[in-house]
Amino acid sequence: MKTVDIVKWTATVIQLFGYGMTGLNMTPWNVYAFFVGIFLWFAVGVMWKDKAIMVVHVGAFISLLLGYLNA
């Protein structure tokens, strides 16, 4: 398995844990999981040189950070 595949699947699993923790109202741990997943998916975008993946995850990071700071 390639490095990018390991990062991609790790990010996916972490994001799924974040969704599960959100459903179980496990704050702020869900937010931390989302931050890690977002960072890893951004890294996948860099590895693939895919600007769309990078942009969407920068937007997700900013949205999540602003929401977290305003909570």
17-33 residue pLDDT tens: 999 999 999 999 999 99
* Cα angle 35-65-59, degrees, rounded to a multiple of 5: 80
- Helix or strand or coil: residue 24? coil
- The pTM (predicted TM-score) of the whole model is 0.92
Within 10 angstroms of residue 34's Cβ, the number of other Cβ atoms is: 22
Mean pLDDT of the chain: 97
Task: Provide the domain limits for residue 19.
Answer: 3-70
Distance CA 22, CA 43 (A): 24
Distance CA 46, CA 59 (A): 15
Report the number of distinct structural domains present in the chain. 1
Locate 30 and state its tokens: 């869900």
pLDDT > 90? residue 71:
no
